[in-house]
A and B are shown apart, each in its own frame.
Chain A
Amino acid sequence: MDHLPTNNPNSLKQLSEMDLLNDLSQPYHGVKTWFRAARVQDFPENGGACVRYKDLQIAVFNFTRRNEWYACQNLCPHKMQMVLSRGMIGSHQGEPKIACPFHKKTFSLKTGECLNAEECTIMVYPVRIEDGYVHIGLTG
């Protein structure tokens, strides 16, 4: 089964160059599980898709142009809509961001902060590519 969590104890040691491209300040701090979500080629280029992990919905974004991946909660905090994965990705002064398709609130994919309104900060998750699969780092 593709979507079962992988609990590979060695995965932290196997960081390749590629993984570090995301440049999160504390890349894998507190990650307990690397969830193997889907194959790289299943995701659209320069766009996002929604991944299911148990009852959790996670939006995963493929920044093909920058060769970077980001993930955040799929729920838009503005009107509680499960839609962020269907939004448009982009950058604001170089910062990767996602725009909700409903009312175009935008959120930083590095910090989860809302960039153009006063919505609350959303959850972001680290992403790693390994063996052609997209893995999402979960703390729980």
Chain B
Amino acid sequence: MLGGGLLGLEAAKALLDLGLETHVVEFAPRLMPRQIDDTGSAVLAHKLSQLGITVHTGKNTKKIAGNGKLEGLEFTDNTSLDIEMLVISAGIRPRDELAKSCGLHVHVKGGIVVDNHLRTNDESIFAIGEAAVHNNMVYGLVAPGYEMADIVVNQILGEAAKQFTGFDMSTKLKLIGVDVASFGDPFGETAGSIPIAFQDKHNGVYKRINISHDGKYLLGGILIGDASQFNIFHQMVANKMPLPAQPETLIIGSPGKNEEGAGVKSLPETAQICSCENVSKGDLICQITEHGAISVDDLKKKTKACTGCGGCTPMVNDILKTTLESLGHKIKKTLCEHFEFSRQELFDIIKVKGIKTYDALLNSVGKGDGCEVCKPAVASLLASIWNELIAEQDTIQDTNDRYLANIQRGGTYSVVPRIAGGEITPAKLMAIGRIAQKYGLYTKITGGQRIDMFGARMDQLPEIWEELILEGFESGHAYGKALRTIKSCVGSTWCRYGVQDSVSFAIFIEDRYKGLRAPHKIKGAVSGCIRECAEAQSKDFGVIATEKGWNLYVCGNGGARPQHAKLFASDVDTETCVKLIDRFLMFYIKTADPLTRTATWLNKMEGGLDYLRDVVINDSLGICESLEVEMKELIANYHCEWKKVVENPQLRSRYKHFINDDEPDSTIAFVEMRDQKIPVDWNKRNI
């Protein structure tokens, strides 16, 4: 990549994404010399090197070597670089041939010279956009071009026109996976300006702001590594908004606080939000208050905001939210553009109307063709309500549910048979080993006390399952938003501390709820005594043995936001414990939003744990009996999905990569690691 400016770096990232070894050669001593300073450039270069892009600054290219075929670049410092492909992005060269031949003045470096009225030396000819040179400068951005067009049109119409006196060149780098922004006067060239800078080497963050000598206004600055404040800073400069008493708090700030949302409120109505399409805050608010816009899409259509570079989308979102809130709008929770209902409302509709298919639901209460949000959500509802074979409506399922296996990097699948409670006989262990070896699968023990076999091609899945089923295994539903595993410790069967038989109880529960579909995956555990070796308090429901019976915990979570399960009932007997779990799970399935784990569901529940206890234990809503009946029906309707597929030639025939050819996908490739196979790196595939 010859040229380390804005476009050069975006292109470099694209080259890297194509799997190419990428170098950036820049003539100036730093990257993006028009936008950022030396420190900023160093931080950026470090970030790029972490991505795999090598940066060469201060390199003057003297020759592009090769004859007919590119070989390398030679530099004036007598070094060279071997290359096979060269992309040049080294500045703007306006097409001024026509202008030149008409006798218009052109700049020595190219471009038609214009004055503050954007007139050329022929007073009836204007020049705008990238073709024009104003004050020795070509503006290589869309916004100044629009501004110029505005000024010229007003002159032609004979209306009072502003003069063009230069333009704010604030920019944000979008593609590269590294935030880079520069706004206002980035280098502090304004007389008397004071720079304040903050650098976090560890995280590759550099922030610099330049403030006016009296400390009142922000003049400009540079943001590397974290440009989340770009929009608001840019607005502060453009609107001369007063700085806080301690301007340094702007860049050191307290993390986690949503400054953007608070920020838009303090902006004046005239603040330009979308610079590509010149849309002000007032324009957006007017669309919301006067013309009934209620979504970002509405605003896009009516004002064209967000349709250019998209950088203003977060601010437009915030303005929409704060304005709607100020109007007292309650934002209705709907699934997506195809259904104007929440998941809970759809649950009732499906149940009451007896709807069995996605298409029937869409026909009766939806619109359009559906999407990747509502299809799996409705699929999960249908499965939770009727527990019929999901393979019958395969194309509304997420790919894992469609092929009843977990898609993995590279496009192959992993296979997880159920091993209830984590208990397995040596013979079954050997069967898994034999089958995995036969199909060359990578094996690993999962966090849920079972064995995952990776690297199966789609066309191999039915054969693998046929063999597993012959050995007595069933689907483990690892692919579904469904009950996963009930983890257990050995409890009183082997452990010297155990007070109850935790393994038997775990296996009983896992068999009871296997195949149960829910808004999200569900995990459980049973520990044989207070020492809690099965970590039951980190599960959606956990049971811990006591001298007198069981303690039941609910709504715990591991994962991204760990949360301990809450004690729900103490010293209950086995039968009561199962009844409470039945009701609890069914209530969750009926009322939670899609993809909400039990912990989040409880956190958002009005009345919290007390309310949940009231409903599930004290039957305050009078629904416990029906919850139990519904659960019983689901359990009675259980089937091993893989057994159905293996036995049904028509379902089996779907497991082919090509519809018109029996060959498998030839682009799948593996490499070896510790005597097993793993898929080749993302991007490095030979396609």
Q: Which residues of A contact B (CB under 8 A)?
A: 2-3, 37-38, 42-52, 57, 60, 63, 65-66, 75, 79-83, 86-94, 96-97, 99, 101-102, 104, 106, 118, 120
Given A45-B395, A82-B667, A104-B372; A37-B682 close (CB under 8 Å): no
Contact B371 A97 (CB under 8 A): yes
Contact B395 A80 (CB under 8 A): no
Contact B175 A91 (CB under 8 A): no
Query: Please, what's the 1-or-0 string for B400-420, where 1 marks a CB less than 8 Å from any CB in chain A?
Result: 001100010011000000000
CA distance A93 to B685 in the complex (A): 35
Give the interface centre of B369, B683, B687 by most chain A CB atoms within 10 Å.
B369
Instruction: Tell me the minimal C-beta distance from B591 to chain A in angstroms.
Output: 25
Give the interface centre of A60, A81, A90, A102 by most chain B CB atoms within 10 Å.
A90
CA distance A57 to B174 in the complex (A): 31
Instruction: Tell me the minimal C-beta distance from A24 to chain B in angstroms.
Output: 17
Chain B neighbourhood of A43, CB < 8 A: 659
Contact B297 A37 (CB under 8 A): no
Contact A91 B685 (CB under 8 A): no
Instruction: Tell me the minimal C-beta distance from A119 to chain B in angstroms.
Output: 9
Give the interface centre of B338, B371, B372, B407 by most chain A CB atoms within 10 Å.
B372
Contact B370 A57 (CB under 8 A): no
Contact B369 A49 (CB under 8 A): no
Contact A106 B372 (CB under 8 A): yes
CA distance A75 to B18 in the complex (A): 13
Chain B neighbourhood of A42, CB < 8 A: 659-660
Known: A50-B658, A75-B687. 10 other contacts (CB 8 A): A46-B395, A52-B660, A80-B685, A82-B665, A86-B399, A88-B371, A92-B371, A97-B371, A101-B407, A106-B372
Ranked 9 nearest A-B pairs via Cβ: A47-B395, A90-B371, A101-B399, A99-B372, A91-B369, A49-B659, A52-B658, A3-B660, A88-B372
Chain B neighbourhood of A86, CB < 8 A: 399, 402-403, 407
Could you say which of B297, B369, B399, B667 contacts A96, with CB atoms under 8 Å apart? B369
Chain A neighbourhood of B297, CB < 8 A: 93
Chain A neighbourhood of B402, CB < 8 A: 86
8 Å CB contacts to A: which residues of B480-537? Answer: none
8 Å CB contacts to A: which residues of B547-589? Answer: none
Q: Does B19 contact A (CB under 8 A)?
A: yes
Contact B660 A51 (CB under 8 A): yes
The binding surface of chain B is classed by DSSP as loop
CA distance A106 to B336 in the complex (A): 15
Contact A81 B371 (CB under 8 A): no
Query: Please, what's the 1-or-0 string for B649-687, where 1 marks a CB less than 8 Å from any CB in chain A?
Result: 000001001111101010100000000000000110101
Q: Which residue in chain B gives the minimum CB-CB distance to A79?
A: B682
Could you say which of A47, A50, A80, A118 contacts B687, with CB atoms under 8 Å apart? A80
Contact B398 A88 (CB under 8 A): yes
Name 22 A/B residue pairs within 8 A (Cβ), A-sorted.
A3-B661, A51-B658, A51-B660, A52-B660, A57-B658, A66-B369, A75-B687, A79-B682, A79-B683, A80-B685, A81-B411, A82-B665, A82-B667, A83-B411, A90-B372, A90-B375, A91-B338, A96-B369, A97-B371, A102-B407, A106-B372, A120-B14
Q: Which residue in chain A gives the minimum CB-CB distance to B363?
A: A65
Q: Which residues of B contact A (CB under 8 A)?
A: 14, 19, 174-175, 297, 337-338, 359, 362, 368-372, 375-376, 394-396, 398-399, 402-403, 407, 410-411, 654, 657-661, 663, 665, 667, 682-683, 685, 687
Chain A neighbourhood of B376, CB < 8 A: 88
Contact A90 B687 (CB under 8 A): no
CA distance A57 to B665 in the complex (A): 9
Instruction: Tell me the minimal C-beta distance from A126 to chain B in angstroms.
Output: 18
Chain A neighbourhood of B407, CB < 8 A: 83, 86, 101-102
Contact A82 B660 (CB under 8 A): no
Contact A50 B395 (CB under 8 A): no
Could you say which of A44, A65, A81 contacts B369, with CB atoms under 8 Å apart? A65
Chain B neighbourhood of A82, CB < 8 A: 411, 665, 667, 687
CA distance A83 to B407 in the complex (A): 10
Could you say which of A2, A50, A93 contacts B337, with CB atoms under 8 Å apart? A93
Contact A44 B654 (CB under 8 A): yes
Contact B683 A80 (CB under 8 A): yes
CA distance A92 to B667 in the complex (A): 31
